[in-house]
C-alpha cells in the first residue's frame, strides 16, 4: 500500500475556482508546492498479514468487506481497515486469507 497525501484523486469541477491572491493588507501567505516527483517517491508499506475482516454497507447500500491489515515492521497501532482493492502489493496474502475463511466456514447442504 502506498502512502498518501490525503487528497482524494477525483475533484468535482464545480468546486474549482480561479485563484485570487490575498489582499496586500493580509501579507504574503505561505504556499505549499507539491512536487510531482514526491508522488513517485511515496513509501510503500508491505502487508504482513490480515488479522480479521468485517462487512458493512456503503452510503449507497452496497456491501463492503474490509480487512484489518498489519504491515511489516509496524506495531498494531498502525493496523488499518482496507478494502480488497487497497493492498495492491499483497494479492497472495489476501487470497490466502479468503481461502482460510472459506475452509473454516461450515457448508450447509
Flag whether pLDDT at 99 surpasses 80: yes
Task: Report residue 109 CA to chain centroid gap.
Answer: 38
Question: What is the spatial distance between Cα 93 and Cα 95, in angstroms, rounded to a whole number?
Answer: 5
Flag whether pLDDT at 91 surpasses 70: yes
How confident is the model at residue 42, as a pLDDT? 65
How confident is the model at residue 67, as a pLDDT? 92
Q: Domains, the chain, ranges and CATH?
A: 46-104 (2.40.50.40)
More confident call, 108 vs 35: 35
Flag whether pLDDT at 81 surpasses 60: yes
Amino acid at each position: 500500500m502506498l502512502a498518501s497525501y490525503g487528497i482524494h484523486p477525483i475533484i468535482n469541477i464545480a468546486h474549482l475556482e480561479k485563484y485570487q491572491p490575498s489582499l496586500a493588507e493580509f501579507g504574503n501567505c505561505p504556499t505549499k508546492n507539491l512536487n510531482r516527483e514526491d508522488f513517485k517517491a511515496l513509501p510503500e508499506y508491505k502487508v504482513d498479514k490480515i488479522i480479521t475482516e468485517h462487512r458493512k454497507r456503503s452510503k449507497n447500500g452496497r456491501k463492503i468487506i474490509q480487512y484489518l491489515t498489519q504491515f511489516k515492521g509496524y506495531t498494531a497501532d498502525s493496523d488499518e481497515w482496507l478494502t480488497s482493492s487497497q493492498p495492491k502489493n499483497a494479492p497472495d496474502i489476501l487470497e490466502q486469507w479468503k481461502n482460510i475463511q472459506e475452509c473454516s466456514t461450515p457448508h450447509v447442504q
